[in-house]
A = this chain, B = another copy of it.
């Protein structure tokens, strides 16, 4: 496996040249003292070192050895031992202050914006998704606690989560209740002292038990005995593995135990636990029966993070595949410079690098375009999350709409693409991609889970189309459409203002197809909002394809934005003295521009099939009886 190299230049380009995050920070009361360009770059560089040097090297061993589960002497209360190197790596990570990155500054957090922490998550996940899950889920739980916990809980627990002394888990799923949380059975019984006794069994709990920290803080969904049926009767509780005394020291064990761990396709080094709560002491977070809302505070931040997992695996796979492809010699180029005129003397006997083969270039460029496109789009969405959380007025409103709209997109689209790209990266290596040695097959197995957990991609698609698009009667998708239309207008205007026409500026090849894609997205959205009034099954059937259609269109938007910057920078370089260099060099911008062209030529057309499929409606799915399947 190639050494992991964090894509710092691309991150820098996105933050400061494409999305001008520094300007947002300067104008924000929350960020202007916390972060500037220099700080952000320093943070990303430091994180890159840890990801490359401390975490990436333990991933392979983590996959081979996995987590070890043993029951205690009484045959209960199982212990989980993480793979060699995980404890040390986590300590290094925690001591570096990384668990506090996005945390509330009042309780020891660093208060960094999501647009920065999203890149940190990417690097951690590229290095090792299994490892990353421990701190990333802890950060998610901390977010929910910071937003909804009372002062006492925050003082006692949040500080320890930020310091990395303790970790956290999210306990939602039960054996009979996954996508449908309304039917959970875990009970919370109110106690005289204001605490609750939590009883029930949760499954698929990531990081439910492990040996990385002294304590684990579980955020548990449960129902009071008299709670309303369904999702409106769910409350959120904080349940520590080991109880905490008033002075903050660890007390006795709580009635929480790990009953088993799952054996999974991938993320072997991440413990996936059955967690049993047997009259365990718990504390209410937020209001009674508002547990799902408290959880969803975290969810938007979490779900974009899961989307990033997909892309991060794709990035790692691309780096490996590219190294292999440049090195591997097999077969001859079909022709040189597009001609068949090579003379026999020109034909060397040595095979060419497989980079000469069109199909290998297709796989690599698809990976590159989808990875970089996902990174850019995730950056855009993270920015909207920051606006939604920290801005005011119109910016806040727009940020809220766009982040609500695009969070399910990020989760499902980036993970579907991440799986596609890891599979492509495996294919580039042929048989060598199927054996463990190169690590490509592990990336496929590890990436696969991201399409499933934190709400399956099917659930995300329904969240996008039913709740967001149809739920707002199309209003919320229009916010996005307006954003893109403004960009198109701006590009056309820039062009009209300049001496050059839009044709010669180089942007016309992006603006025209982008316009078409936006028009089609507008039309199909309206059609679906109308159809929803008659038959909601039309929505259920269209959701997955709609999500992907939206995804390819949104990615076209960010690729056009990147192309516009690249073109401007290249023009500046052309006009400058020969010796002058831009920050990232001409190659970087040329690469961006070419990749944008590739995306528009060969990936954006995927929307055509999706449009046709959505238009075909739901008839063929619901006229067939279940018995005929």
Contact = CB atoms under 8 A, between A and B. Distances in A.
Contact of A358 (B204, B430, B610, B621): B621
A605 B338 CA distance: 32
Contacts of A597: 620
Interface stretch (A34-42, A120-128, A305-313, A327-335): A327-335
Interface stretch (A214-222, A245-253, A489-497, A535-543): A535-543
A365 B458 CA distance: 15
Interface string A429-448: 01101111100010011001
Which 7 interchain pairs have the tightest Cβ spacing?
A: A358-B540, A358-B541, A334-B536, A605-B612, A265-B441, A591-B628, A594-B624
Contacts of A456: 427, 430
Interface in A521-552: 534-537, 539-544
Contacts of A326: 626
Interface in A592-618: 594-595, 597-598, 601-602, 605-610, 612-613, 616-618
A449 interface: yes
The bracket for how many chain A residues form the interface is 35 or more
A263 interface: yes
B616 A602 contact: yes
A255 interface: no
Contacts of A449: 434
Given A358-B540, A358-B543, A365-B620, 7 more contacts: A178-B430, A178-B431, A180-B331, A359-B544, A364-B629, A434-B449, A598-B624
Interface string A319-347: 00010001001110011001110000000
A444 to B, nearest CB: 7
Task: State the oligomeric state as a number of copies.
Answer: 2
A559 to B, nearest CB: 12
Given A173-B431, A629-B322, A535 B361 contact: no
A360 B458 contact: yes
Nearest to A466: B334
Interface stretch (A77-85, A349-357, A571-579): A349-357
Nearest to A442: B265
Contact of A620 (B203, B359, B457, B594): B594
A450 to B, nearest CB: 10
A71 to B, nearest CB: 19
A430 B340 CA distance: 51
A449 B441 CA distance: 11
B265 A338 contact: no
A541 B361 contact: yes
Scoring A176, A335, A617 by chain B CB atoms within 10 A of each residue's CB, the highest score goes to A335
A536 B340 contact: yes
A173 B435 CA distance: 15
A598 B621 CA distance: 7
A587 interface: yes
Contacts of A502: none
Contacts of A339: 535
A382 to B, nearest CB: 26
Contacts of A602: 613, 616, 620
A280 to B, nearest CB: 23
21 contacts: A177-B330, A179-B430, A180-B330, A339-B535, A340-B536, A355-B626, A357-B458, A358-B540, A358-B543, A358-B621, A359-B458, A359-B462, A359-B540, A359-B541, A362-B541, A364-B629, A365-B621, A598-B620, A605-B609, A605-B616, A609-B609
A31 interface: no
A378 interface: no
Contacts of A543: 358-359
A334 B539 contact: yes
A362 B616 contact: no
A133 to B, nearest CB: 14
A23 interface: no
B537 A338 contact: yes
A594 B627 CA distance: 12
A580 interface: no
A457 B613 CA distance: 26
A283 to B, nearest CB: 27
B434 A629 contact: no
Contacts of A610: 609
A477 B27 CA distance: 63
A605 B360 CA distance: 26
A293 interface: no
B452 A358 contact: no
Given A355-B626, A358-B537, A587-B627, A431 B338 contact: no
Interface string A246-285: 0000000000000000111110000010000000000000
A486 interface: no
B433 A452 contact: yes
A229 interface: yes
A210 interface: no
A365 B179 contact: no
A368 interface: yes
Nearest to A360: B458
A141 to B, nearest CB: 19
Given A457-B427, A608-B609, A262 B435 contact: yes
Contacts of A329: 176
A427 to B, nearest CB: 7
Contacts of A594: 620, 623-624, 628
A550 to B, nearest CB: 15
A407 to B, nearest CB: 18
Interface string A213-242: 000000000000000010000000000000
Contacts of A606: 609
